[in-house]
Structures are given as structure tokens and as C-alpha cells.
Structure 1
Amino acid sequence: MIVLEFKLKGKAHQYRIIDEMIRTAQFVRNKTLKYWTENQGVKLVNLYKQCAIMAKEFEWASKLNSMARQASAERAIFAIQRFFANCKAKKLGKKGYPQFKKHTRSVEYKTSGWSLSTDKRCLTFKDGFAAGKFKLIGSRDLHFYAPDEIERIRIVRRADGYYAQFCINVERKEEPVPTGKAIGIDVGLNHFYTDSDCETVANPRYLRKSEKALKRLQKRVSRKKKGSGNRKKAINKLGRKHLKVSRQRKDFAIKTALCAVKSSDFVACEELLVRNMVKNHKLAKSISDATWDQFAQWLEYFGKIYGKTVVAVAPQYSSQDCSNCGNLVKKTLSTRTHICGCGVILDRDRNASLNILAKGLKQARINSNTAGHAEINAWEQTDLYSLVVTSTSKSTG
């Protein structure tokens, strides 16, 4: 499954119609969830039937395409299923009880209610709302994909306009290029990450750099009269600035993860619970600004596409254990140098990255033995485990 995104170019009244479509989708989702809360034990299949009932009960709801109503109901159904799955798995903390949505920003269409022009550069909505034709602004070409491969379209409202996301049911695969390298990655705040080859990537700190401008725009919003047009304009400018920061973070995470995967055959990283780490109010802003979770998700994604092995390991004691002898060397967060009695002196992050690599290789060997096939030696060209153990012993010796 791949997603291609285009910006929608239309007239002002067409954008207002899209807003109505989004509000209707939110209504269907919340109404479905309300029916579930009032009828405990109802089967999930019966929740789909509420879409047709709502269309008969509310005339304006029938304007939304039938499959779009089903997609909106699915959002509530997925939230319910996720809640039960978390309860069954006895997940620690909050289980994610489904909540009513107040600020929905998207609506989904499946295979009906829309059509593409012959040149596939215009999108037309054909349901009761009759939003009309929109021009698709983007560099991607939809001619490479058959119409039946487009499973659904998601219309998203952002601060800088409206976008159409085409969800295409194709498998993306890239030709793997073996490098014979294996790395362990330790993420941090001083450097974004440090790997076992002594390579470091600087932390861009996009939020910190834009903080002054964000505060200034936030002050302008506070000074405007509530409900006025000037306040709406100020809110839009603030939203655009936040959107720029989020896009910078995403772009950095994608490019950094892609570079790490393409340059190595095996990547080991920490499996961090960022939502627990941000409870530290002194570091919460810096941790959120670093986008470790996005980086880990893109590492896993690119690993599957390029046929590389990406392993997430437990982060416990990765900074405290010695990468050479394995002894525990306790150190505070401010101690940036690892000094062990065995004579090894390393940067704290470099020591952690070596430990992460060793854990990842061990975990991958166990998984490969369990599955009955080798995952590390994917191209049968080199034994990465022996290669890394040799290079590690030389660098720490």
C-alpha cells in the first residue's frame, strides 16, 4: 500500500462544501460510537447498518456517499476493536476507550462517489454534496496505476489548504544493494543519533529554532477578539507555522532513516516508549522535537522495502553496560564518557550503540534459528555477525 498526496485547487465555495463533508463524516462516526455505548454487547456488524439508518433519518447525512459513510463508521469500529485488543493484552496504563471527535479534519471515500479525469489531473466528487471538479497539484503521476488499484481517497484539511490522498494497493519493492555493514543506532538529544561506526547525525531542533516565531504568532492570536475575522487569520498563520515545523521533522526523519537503511544490511535501534519519556517535563519538549518515534517507524518501513534487516531491542542498560567486557558502569545522564575498569574509554553514545548492535545481532540470530532460516545473511555473501564482532573488538581493544 502506498499513498500519493496532491493538493486540491478549487474555488472558495467548493472548499466550504468539503468542510460540510468532513462535518458529516464526523457526525456519522460519533453517532456510530454513541449507538455502541448505548447498546453494550451489540455486534460490530450491526454498526455498519447504522449508516443506512442515519441516511434515512437525516436528509443532509444522505448527501454523503454511502461508502464514505461506511468509512466514517469504520473509524469508530477500529477504535472499539483497538480498545478491546488493549484490554485483552492487559496493556499498561490507559486502554484507549473510544472518544467522540470534535475536530475531525478528513473524510474518506472508497471506490464510488468520485472520478478522475482522462488525464488524471482532476478529481470530481459525484455524491449529494456535489463539490465539483478540483485540479490536482503534485509531482506524482497517477497514470502508472490502474483505477481498480486505488482503494480509497482521503480528503484532508490542513492550515495551508485541502489535500487528496490516494491509497493505492500496490506493493513497493526496491532492489537491495548489499553493503556488508551492520550498525547499531543510539538516539539522543545532543546528537540525533550516534552509530557503532562513530558516525553522528546532528539534531536539527526545528521546534527550538521556530519557538520565537511561534510565540509571536500565539500572542497575535491572543490579542484578537474572539470570533472576529482577524482572529481566524491569526490562527491560520499560527497553524501554518506549526505545519511547517511538523513537515520539517517528517522530512528529516524520512531522509535520515533512508540513508541509514541504504548504507547498511543490518540496523539495530532502541525500542523506545516515547509517550512515557515525555512525562519528564524537563526533557519533554526536546524529546518531542527529536521525533525518535517517526524515525523508528521509517526505519522499519524502509527495511521492508529494501530487504534489509531492522531490529528493535530493549534499551535497558545500553548506556550503563561496557561494550567490551559487559560490566555495569553506573553513570548519570550528565556523564558523557564511558570509562571502564577494563581500560575502555568511549563516548557514552558510542558505547550504547555498540551494545545495541550486539543485542540486535543476538536477537536476530535467535529469531532466525526459530524461523528456520537466516535473516542476517540475506544474500549469502558475508557473515555479518563475524564481521561486526571483529570490527567491534578492534575498535574497543
Structure 2
Amino acid sequence: MKGQRLKDWIMKQAADIGIDQIGFASADPFDELRQRLVQHRELGYESGFEESDLDLRTSPSKNLPSVKTIIAIALAYPSRMKNPPQSAPGAYRGIFARASWGKDYHHVLRQKLDELANRIKERIPTAELMSMVDTGALSDRAVAQRAGIGWSGKNTSIITHKFGSWVYLGEMLTNLSIPPDQPIEDGCGDCNRCIEACPTGALVGPGQLNAKACIAFLTQTKESIPTAWRKKIGNRLYGCDTCQTVCPKNRKLSFTHQKDFAPDPERVKPLLKPLLKMSNREFRQQYCEMAGSWRGKKPIQRNAIIALAHFRDQSAIPDLAELLAYDPRPVIRQTAAWALGEIGGSQAEKALRKAEHEEDEQVVREEINQALQTLEQQNEK
């Protein structure tokens, strides 16, 4: 089986497996992408989560020497949930980005790709196949764009005609010769809503992202978040959807047919205060299936502290004071001190004054001093 017949057969298998979109691309080097990545690196815009070897990222043959074709796939995920729980005074909630709703998409896409690979191998035993999902070396977006899945939007997401940008991407390298699909035309036009709406200005230009300033990146780091960005994070616990929710191509789109991605409202929009005291075991039980758990509980707890400051939640002061006094992690103590300064009041000041005399870590002491200055400024108003 060769050529178009093979392509038609693979497309039929993909539909049977539950893959929403499939496209086929040549395995030529991504030379234009490489130029952009070099510039990206020179400007200091990399997140550090990417594959560092630009040859692996842009040369498919460096990953699979026999590669002739790249098969790109996409699965749609929901953008809305039914009856989401609401925040209330003393019971405020955070939010996980839509890319962390339901089961971890890495596992779901990997299962789909494995099933497709098994079917291809049964039909063509000589087929060589290598699958990648997000953490692979190649750029999922560059592959998807070349394969005609969608165009690369100004928000750096792949935007499809049917599903908007609410899609997860994966790819499979193979030694099979399959006719490629044609890329589709850019559909963003003069629209710049994503760039204008980006909370931190991380979208520095059309299709150009300073990852280090992106909230989706900041919420995943384990270090202290720079003060300038904390108020921009709001109640986000993991990721950021702003550049997608404002996109006109996503208007009124939400797809619920992939049951693995159905959100549990209490998990994806959880109460904030319980997160502060959650043990490692409790965290794994609650969140281990979600993509947003991959960095562990510390970033989520740090982000929950920031969210409580965002809501000015006076009821959280005792919990924050306890973290400041006893938590062994400097990043958590540091963020708790900042949050107490933002929330304000005599109870917060009392906790900060106590910690001022007991804290040994310099970076935490500096944060305490800054928080006390913030309180003084509030008192003067």
C-alpha cells in the first residue's frame, strides 16, 4: 500500500481511534523556524523548558534518520464547563488553565498515537515510527502548520478552522512516503486582540512570545515570581488562557466529545485556602492525573497565595501567617509575606512584625521589609 491509498487508510484509522484532525507533512528541515529560534534565544525569550538542541528541534532526520513523512494530529478540548463553582468572601477560588482540564493530554495523545502506530505496524511491518507529544524535540506547532492542521496565530497557538485554537497537538515521524497536505492561509489578518490583551505584554509581536514574561510560564516556575508580575497573575493557579479567550476564531467554541478532557469543576476551580495545607499525598491524590500537576505542589501553593492577595482575603491571614512563620520553603514564606502586605490590616502587620525578628533567610527578610513598607503606605492614605 503506497501513496494516496496509504494516506486514505491512515486517515480512516485515525478517525476510528478518535483523532479529531490529521495532516501529513514533508520531513524537510524547518529552516525558517531555526532562524526564528536563534533570534528567540539571542533575545533571551526562551523558557528553559524547551529542547535546547536546535538541530533536534528543526531537523526531523536528527530524530529519526529514515524519516520521510511527519503525521500531525490534533485533539479538541473544551473551553467551558457546566455550572462552575463561584468564589465567595472567605471561600475564594483559583483556576487551572483549560489545557489542564481532565486527564493529562500528554498521556491521552500518546495513547492515540500508540494505537495508530500499532495499526500501521500491523499493516506494514517494515514501518519505522516515532511519536512525540509536547515534550518531544520537534515543534508541534511548526509540524501542525506544515501539515495543514491550522495556521500559527499571532498568539503563537495553532488555530484550526473547526476547533479554533482549542486543540492539543502531537506528531509521528515515519519512514513511509505519504503525499503531504498543503498549509492553510493565515487567518489572523489585521486582528491584534491577543497581543493587546496579554496581561504581561509577553506577546512582543505577532507570533513572538517572551516566554519568561508569559503567565503560563511564570505559574510553572518553582522560584519566587518577580514582584512586577504577581498582580498580573490574579487567581491563576496554572497556565493562562487570555490570548485564546479573546481570539475571535474561538468565539462560542467548546468541544466536549473527548471525554478524557472533561473538567472536574472542584479540581480545576478549587478553593484556595485548602491548597495551602495540602500534603504531598493529598496533592497527588487530587491532581496527579492533570497536566497542571507536573511541577508538583509548590508552584500551585505559591500561586494560591498570590491569588489570596489578589482577592484581599482577610480570612486567609491566619493561614498566611502560619506559612510565614513555619513553612520550611523560602519561596513560600517570601510570597506569604508579600501577600500579607497586600491584604493589609493589623493582624497582617502583627504577623509580619513577628517574622521580622525571627526570619533568618535574607530574601525573605527583604520581602518582609517591603511588605511592612506597603502597609505603612496604606496607613498613610
TM-score surpassing 0.5? Answer: no
Q: Decide which structure has the larger Cα Rg and report it.
A: 1
Greater RCO (CA < 8 Å, at least 6 residues apart): 2
TM-score (norm 1): 0.28
Larger strand share, 1 or 2: 1
